[in-house]
Amino acid sequence: MIINVEVADPYSVGNIAAILSEIASRLGTLADGGETSLIDLKSLPLSSGEYEHLRFTLGRGEVTASLDAIGMSEIVETQFSGVWWITHYNDQGDIVADLIEIATIPNILLSQPEDMRTGLALLHAIISRPASSHD
């Protein structure tokens, strides 16, 4: 027996339009020199179809970055400049945070002063180390 499962347009439920207009309004604010902002996709009621639809609509733009820190993170500028899709994964590859950031550059990509100082200390240690120690 074949059960014909037909899914009517999963996008017709109207949640996508609301998210897109929210993104548009925030992007407008940013373009006018306003503040950056974040949308937590996990807090929104999205069916899997809608999620895919959102991903498809926003698309991929010019920049893609990845971060490897307690699991991978994927940072993608969507086809709309200033709208970034940030997905944090854990070691097992599960999504632990899924965010839309409206910013000139996502905060997570910026190098952190603490890390810079750690790096700097390490760099100094390398410089001050005698050449002989290189085995």
Q: Which residues bind other proteins (CB under 8 A)?
A: 5-8, 10, 13-15, 37-40, 42-48, 50, 67, 69-71, 73, 88, 90-92, 94-99, 107-108, 111-115, 118
Task: Compute the least distance from the CB of residue 31 to other proteins, in Å.
Answer: 19
For residue 111 the two structure tokens come to 């190098």
Helix (H) or strand (E) holding 25: helix 15-31
Nearer to other proteins, 114 or 135 (CB): 114
User: Directed axis angle between helix 15-31 and helix 48-58, to 10°?
Assistant: 30
Tell me what percent of the chain is helix, strand and coil, each rounded to the nearest 5.
40, 20, 40
| Cα angle value 110/83/43 (rounded, 5°) | 95
Task: Compute the least distance from the CB of residue 29 to other proteins, in Å.
Answer: 14
Contact present, 45 and 15 (Cβ < 8 Å):
yes
Task: Compute the least distance from the CB of residue 50 to other proteins, in Å.
Answer: 7
Nearer to other proteins, 63 or 97 (CB): 97
Task: Compute the least distance from the CB of residue 47 to other proteins, in Å.
Answer: 4
